[in-house]
């Protein structure tokens, strides 16, 4: 009998190969013995960071997100490049997107972004001790940096001003630390 928590892969085929993600279609054996199909988006690990300045302001980024067809206010995020640690990726993203680096990084959590169909694992950090240090932005990004007082974050989430899951999860973890 198969483990009820496991769906062994019987066959796997690559349906799409892209620059930042691949899509594969897996045929799996279900616990009751029948076959099922799983469409899986393969995506590398990512990082996100909540930069908190000495004035208790969160440094957020506003950028247009094509799938949502709107500009979203978010924590900073990006992919972990091959051979790069999540800590190195956080510092790189922080410098590229905000013009800051951090004296202190605290790992908040690692979580699956959309485990129903995607392999992306997000590593979330809090950055403090911010000081100027910039790297050039990615050429396909157009970002606006906003500072928001930490106490305003819960209302912004409730009112739908902050709407993406990585930002909500990471900001709520930081709020928990500072209550």
Q: What is the CA radius of gyration of the chain?
A: 19
Q: Name the token pair of 7.
A: 């769906």
Answer yes or no: 11 catalytic.
Answer: no
User: In this structure, are residues 171 and 58 in contact, taking their beta carbons and an 8 Å threshold?
Assistant: yes
Q: Which of the residues 54, 70, 136, 139 is marked catalytic?
A: 139
Do residues 162 and 71 lie in contact, with contact meaning Cβ atoms separated by under 8 Å? Answer: no
Output the 3-class SS for the chain: CCCCCCCCEEEEEEEEECCCCEEEEEEEECCCCCEEEEEEEECCCEEEEEEECCCCEEEEEEEEECCCCEEEEECEEEECCCCCCHHHHHHHHHHHHHCEEEEEEEEEEEEECCCCCECCEEEEEEEEEEEECCCCCCCCCCCEEEEEEHHHHHHHHHCCCCCCHHHHHHHHHHHHHCC
Which residues are known to be catalytic? 139
């Amino acid at each position: 009998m198969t483990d009820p928590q496991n769906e062994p892969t019987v066959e796997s085929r690559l349906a799409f190969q892209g620059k930042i993600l691949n899509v594969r279609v897996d045929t799996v054996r279900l616990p009751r013995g029948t076959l099922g199909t799983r469409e899986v988006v393969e995506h590398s690990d990512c990082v996100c960071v909540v930069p908190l300045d000495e004035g208790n302001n969160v440094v957020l980024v506003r950028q247009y997100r094509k799938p949502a067809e709107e500009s979203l206010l978010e924590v900073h995020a990006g992919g972990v490049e091959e051979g790069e640690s999540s800590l190195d990726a956080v510092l790189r993203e922080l410098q590229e997107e905000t013009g800051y680096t951090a004296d202190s990084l605290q790992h908040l959590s690692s979580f699956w972004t959309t485990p129903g169909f995607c392999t992306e694992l997000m590593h979330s950090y809090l950055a403090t001790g911010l000081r100027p240090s910039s790297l050039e932005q990615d050429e396909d990004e157009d970002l606006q940096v906003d500072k928001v007082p930490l106490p305003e974050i819960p209302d912004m989430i409730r009112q739908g001003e902050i709407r993406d899951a990585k930002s909500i999860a990471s900001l709520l973890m930081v709020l928990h630390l500072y209550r």
